[in-house]
Amino acid sequence: MWLYSFVINLLTPLIWLKIRRFKRTYANYRAKEACGHWGKVEADLWLHCASVGEVLAARPLVAQWREKYPDHRLLVTTMTPTGAEQVVKVFPFAQHKYLPMDWHWAVQKALSRIECPRLLIVEMELWPNLLMLAKQKGLHVSIVNARMSERSYLRYQRFPRFSSRLFALPDQFLAHAQADADRIKRLGASKVYATGSIKFDLAVSEEVLDQNWREQIDRPFVWLAASTHQGEEAQILKAHQVLLRSQPQALLVLVPRHPERFEEVSELAKESFSKVALRSKTPVNKWKDFEVVIGDSMGELMHYYQASDLAFVGGSLIKRGGHNPIEPALLSKAILVGPYTFNFQDITDQLILAKGALRCQNEEQLSNLLISLSKQSSQRIRLGQAALRFAQSSQGAVTRVLNEIDFH
């Protein structure tokens, strides 16, 4: 691990800048915890979720765990302040700490203050010092919802000695799919099980259904571009311009993946459209007065999906690898994805095969599909129903995960 220690020491100035930026930007950020200064913590389960997406993904897992062990204590760590906000909202019964940056001294300091038998890490947050020191302390470490794309696998393969030592550290990996499990095994992990994605077990909240944003938007066609990235929004906005020539009453709800880009994307939209609103400043029942609404809020993605007639899952028009298509499927929405979905390759391919999603190779195909589907509500309904059937048929991962983990 000497190479990793060298690299992280090299990156220390940048890490300090990140800590400083978080501290200045977010009132809830506790920089001392990121340096390992924790108070004494006693818990029965330590769950690590990097940020908002992982916190929300962990909801069905925590719910079933609490049903089985109602008296057990939960510690949740995050890396980001936005993730911490969601922990307070979603798991008000849990303790929260910021995970220390992966300096050996910071992790060691934090671990000296915790008494807990088990660490569950949601998705592939493999911090070498954290894993190594947690194992030395005697924690049982499980990686839940583990994903390993072919692209990531090839990157790890470039450093075989490092990868084999890293992947040998966790006690078990509970993988999205068999293809992920096979790649993780080849990288040096010993116990790997394909349990499926816990995200399929997410229950759509009563709040989302009761508030029913779609019913409040007096527009014939609303489409959502969710979790978008730089280089992608420009293509989406051009596709919306083309759509408006055919469907002048269509509305685009555009939700960037990262909150620090909300303002940037809003300004980009204003270059092409005169009627652009921010979710934070515009009630849902006023969205009908605009051409584009920027979703500048956190923790409301299911609301945005519910508000749409069709959902484009972002990160897939560019080589980012795409995001999770399960949430719109659970809401029975027609789904579009771009050509690059390697982060969720198996799930996306199966969803398309089940006729619950369509793939567009570029901006032009996106425009054409939008025009076609905006005029065919019956086709959108068929796509949405197929997506829901696929999602429901894939449920049960949380039960399988809990069965694989001995909590006694």
β-pairing, 118-122 vs 140-146, is parallel
| Closest to 298 measured CA to CA, from 10, 6, 87, 108 | 87
Q: Coil, strand or helix: which one is 138?
A: coil
Cα dist from 307 to 56, 146, 253, whole Å: 19, 30, 9
Q: For 179, phi and psi rounded to 5 degrees?
A: -65, -40
Distance CA 90, CA 84 (A): 10
Query: Could you tell me the two tokens for 398?
Result: 């949380």
Contact call for residues 258 and 226 (beta carbons, < 8 A): no
Contact call for residues 98 and 29 (beta carbons, < 8 A): yes
DSSP characters over 265-309: HHHHHHHH-S-EEEGGGS-GGGGGG-SEEE---SS-HHHHHHT-S
- Judge whether 54 counts as a catalytic residue: yes
Q: For 177, phi and psi rounded to 5 degrees?
A: -150, 170
Q: Coil, strand or helix: which one is 226?
A: strand
Q: From the candidates 33, 42, 54, 115, give the one annotated as an active-site residue.
A: 54
The angle formed by the CA atoms of residues 198, 90 and 203, to the nearest 5 degrees, is 40
The angle formed by the CA atoms of residues 345, 346 and 351, to the nearest 5 degrees, is 100
Residues belonging to the active site: 54
